[in-house]
Amino acid sequence: MARFLYSTVLIVSVFPLHTTSNYGPSDDQCFCQLSGKVEDCCCDVEAVHNLNKEVYPKILEIVKQNYFKFFKVNLGRSCPFWPDDGTCSLKDCSVQTCKEDEVPEGVKGYHDPKKSYNHKPLKVQKENSKRQTVKEQPKKCKGDNSTLGDVNIHLSEEDKQAFETWQQYDDAENSFCQPEDELSADLKYVNLLLNPERFTNYKGDSANRVWYSIYQENCFKLPNPYTEKYEASSALNQLCLEKRVFYRVISGMHASINTHLSAQYLFKGNGFMKPEWRPNVEEFKKRFDPEKTKGQGPSWLKNIYFLYLLVWRAVIKAGPYWKQEGFFTGHKSEDGLVKKHIGDLLLQSRNCPSTFDETMMFTGDPVTSRGLKEEFRKKFRNITRIMDCVGCQKCRLWGKVQTQGIGTALKILFSSNQFAEDTVSPSFRLKRNEIVALFNALGRYSSSIHYVQMFRSLTRR
C-alpha cells in the first residue's frame, strides 16, 4: 500500500502484537532467513518458499490480464471516524483513473445481444437457461379449446430493484467488507498496473492515526500491553485461535506493505542520476531488523507467510466457483487464457495441499461461536472503512484492494455450507471486484515473499 504509514515501526513497537522468537542471525545469515512452522497454519516456511517459487510467475501473469487489472473504487469517500486531515499533495500519491473507452465493455458488465461477443458471461448463460426451462409449449384446458398463454417471466423495474435489494442484503450478511455504493458516480475504474504499490513518502500524523486506530481500536485487545515484563509471545498465546488469526491477518498485511515500499523505494537521484525505484536495504532493515524492532521484526515477516497461506486456502477452496466463472471481458481468447492460468494455478497448489484449516475456527458452543464470528466480521468491516481515512490516494487504493481481497478470502472460508467437495452452492456468488481484489491480494503477498528472499540475498553481499 505504497508509503502507507512511514512510522510503522514506532507504532508497532508500542503495540507488540506479534510473537517473538530466537532469530539471532549469525554473521553470515540475514535476520530475514526464516524457518520452521508458520504459526496457526499447516505449512512451514520452507514449503511456502518452494510453493511460491513455482506459482509466483503465474500469479503475476494472472493479475496482468484485463479482467484483473481494472479495479472499480471510490477514492473520494470521506473519513467516517475523524475530520479529514487533507490528502497527500505529493505527485507520487496521486492515482490515475481510467477513461471510459480504456475499460473493456465486458469488464464494465455490458452485454449487448446484438453485438458479436465471442461468448456470454456466466450470469447471462444462467438467465437464458432459466428462460428456456420456464417457457413451455401452450397447454389446453380440459373441455375447453382455449389456450393458456406463455408464462410471463419478465420483471418490472420495481421487482428488479427489490431483488437487487434482497441480494445486497444477503451479500452484506456474509461480507467482511464495507461495500461500495454501486450506484455512486464517484466510482471509477483504476488500472492497477499503472498505479503500483510502492513508496510515496506519505507519513506524519495522518498516516500514524490510521494504524493506531486499526491496532488499538479495532483489533482484539492483548492483555497488559504496557507492562515492563510484557512478552508478546505469551500474551498472544493466551488468546483464542480466532483472535490470533485476526492479529496475524492485520500484521501480515502491515508487514507486506512495509516490504513493498522497501523493495520499491524512490531514490531521487541527483544531477547525474535520474530518479529510480529500486530496493532499499537500509529501509528494510529499519523496519524488520530485530535490533531496531525489539526482536519482533522477523515475527512480523513471518505473518506475511501466514496471510499468504490463508488467502491461498480461500483460492483453493473456491476452486469449484472458478470452474463456473466466465472471467468475462468480451474477448474469447483472453477469457480462455485466464481460465487456463487459474486452472494451472490450482494444479500447482497441490505442491502445498495443507495451508490453513478454517474448520478449527468458530467451533464449540454455537451461541458463543456465532457471537465471536460476528465480532470478528464487524471489526474487519470497520478496518475496511478506515481505508477511507488514508490521506495518500495511492495508499488508499491499495489499502482498499488488500482489505477487500482479505475480506473476500474470509467470506469464502467462513460462508457456511457453501462449498462441498467439488461443488458450490448456487446461492454463493462473488462480485467481479471481489474476485479482482482476492487475486491481487494474493499477488501482493506472493510478491512480498519473493522480496523477502531478495533482501536475504542483498543483505548477505
Q: Is 260 annotated as a binding residue?
A: no
Helix (H) or strand (E) holding 319: helix 319-324
CB atoms within 10 A of CB 431: 17
To which residue does cell 497488559 refer?
Answer: 224
H helix and E strand count, the chain: 16, 6
| 34 vs 44: CA distance, rounded Å | 10
Q: Is 396 annotated as a binding residue?
A: no
CA distances (Å), origin 340, targets 52, 60, 67, 347, 420? 19, 14, 14, 11, 23
Q: Does the annotation count 392 as an active-site position?
A: yes
How many alpha carbons fall within 13 Å on the CB side of residue 433?
A: 23
Q: Is 88 left (phi over 0), alpha (psi -120 to 50) or beta?
A: beta
| 257 vs 4: CA distance, rounded Å | 7
Q: Does the annotation count 177 as an active-site position?
A: no
Q: Is 131 annotated as a binding residue?
A: no
Q: Is 251 annotated as a binding residue?
A: yes
What is the secondary structure of 366-415 as a DSSP string? HHHHHHHHHHHHHHHHHHHHHGGG-SSHHHHHHHHHHHHHHHHHHHHHHS
Q: Is 456 annotated as a binding residue?
A: no
Provide the grid cell at 212. Answer: 493506531
Q: Is 211 annotated as a binding residue?
A: yes
C-beta of residue 448 within 8 angstroms of C-beta of residue 256: yes
Active site residues per annotation: 392, 395
- Feature table: binding site for FAD: 198, 200, 211, 251, 254, 287
- Feature table: binding site: 198, 200, 211, 251, 254, 287
